[in-house]
Each structure stands twice: as C-alpha cells, then as structure tokens.
Amino acid sequence: MCSASIIEPDVCVCQRGRIFADNSNETCVDLDECGQHFHDPCGHRGVCMNTVGSYRCACLQGWKSDEHCSTNVSTPALCMPGYRGEKCSVSDCGEYGYGKPIGDSEEYICVCKEGWTHVTEKGACNVDVNECNETPWICENGATSVDS
C-alpha cells in the first residue's frame, strides 16, 4: 500500500522534501537537505538546519536571512570554515571535498568524496585514490584492474 501521493495506478511519488524509505517505493520519509554535504543549500554562508519536508538557513554575519543566505548586507561577510571568496564559493578542500567545521571555531577538516584523498587534513582533496593498489584482489578470473 502506497503512503505517498499516487499519480497513476500503482505509481507513487513523494512530496517535495521527502524521499522513498527503501526500494519498495511505498513509504516516504523526510529528506535531510542538510546531510547532502556536496550540495549546501545555504551556500557556505550559513548553517543549514533540516526541518520536516524542508530546511532553513541560519545566516552568518554579513548575509541576509533569506532562503539561501545569498544577499550580502555588510562587510566583512563571513563564510563557513574552509570556504572563501565573494560568495563563499571557493572551497579550500577543492572540487572533490568539502570543509567540515570542528566545533564552534574557525577550524575545519576536509572531507573527500569517495575515490579522492588529500595529503593533509586541511589540504585540497585532489589526490586520486588508485583503488587497484588499495584492493589488488578486486578483479577475479585473471582480469586486470584499471584505475579511473
């Protein structure tokens, strides 16, 4: 039985801000928009707080408290630790990582996407992990692993 919205017979769709709980596509649960670290709806200019079906941003000093903290209202405007630039769009962790704040300070560590690493905790995630070297037994029956 589908607890989501039914658009056609036997086709369920979750409301905005919700996702299916599992592959049965029957029960919808809250989507944690703030848990998607590589997509920060607050633009690294505030702290994202998940709500049921949506989220809200608590903007940092210098940013207007609109949906995405996108309007600069004073100087200096702050960015979340690990980000800089006029709109806080430059990540010190590189294209394949994000800055994770440590406590309430300006300290952060870089968390890398799967398949990428860094030389230091605050270094950019720009070192490609060669999974072939990490798990040489990954291929069976005489096949050869090729890193991509």
- Altogether, the residues listed in the chain come to a count of 148
| pTM of the complete model beyond 0.75 | no
Distance set, CA 131 to CA 42, 81, 115, 120 (Å): 33, 30, 8, 20
Per-domain boundaries in the chain: 1-31
Q: How confident is the model at residue 3, as a pLDDT?
A: 58
Q: How confident is the model at residue 8, as a pLDDT?
A: 58
Q: Summarize pLDDT for 64-97 with one digit per residue, the tens.
A: 988 899 999 988 889 999 999 989 999 999 999 9
Q: Summarize pLDDT for 28-51 with one digit per residue, the tens.
A: 988 888 886 667 889 999 999 988
Q: Summarize pLDDT for 94-104 with one digit per residue, the tens.
A: 999 988 888 87
Whole-number Å distance between alpha carbons of 46 and 73: 14
Angle at 126 between CA 121 and CA 132, to 5 degrees: 105
On the question of pLDDT at 62 being above 90, the answer is yes
Residue 94: what residue type?
Answer: G
